[in-house]
Amino acid sequence: VSGLEALKQEKAGLKDDVSALEASVAVQYEDGFRYAMEQVKLIFPDLDEKRLGEADALNQIVDGKLVPFTL
């Protein structure tokens, strides 16, 4: 295996590692959000479940309204 081929293989492996780490971070973020929502439900049991269900980890607040997050 040439030096160039070895570098290509290493690069491919590193790309796979990055993809796996990105997926892991996304799962952890979503799990953390769900955990926080469960705490809110416990602390504020009288909140409207339907309204609370509108909350999403990928929403943002714009002009006092929840909207999908955009870059």
Confidence (pLDDT) at 8: 96
**Helix, strand or coil for residue 65?**
strand
Residues constituting the chain: 71
What residues does each domain of the chain span?
3-68
Confidence (pLDDT) at 70: 87
Asked if residue 55 lies in contact with residue 44, where contact means CB atoms within 8 angstroms, the answer is no
Q: pLDDT tens string for the chain (71 positions)?
A: 799 999 999 999 999 999 999 999 999 999 999 999 999 999 999 999 888 888 998 899 999 999 999 88
Buried b (16+ CB within 10 A) or exposed e, 18-29: eeeeeeeeeeee
Q: Taking the mean position of all CA atoms in its chain, how far away is CA 25?
A: 6
Confidence (pLDDT) at 71: 80
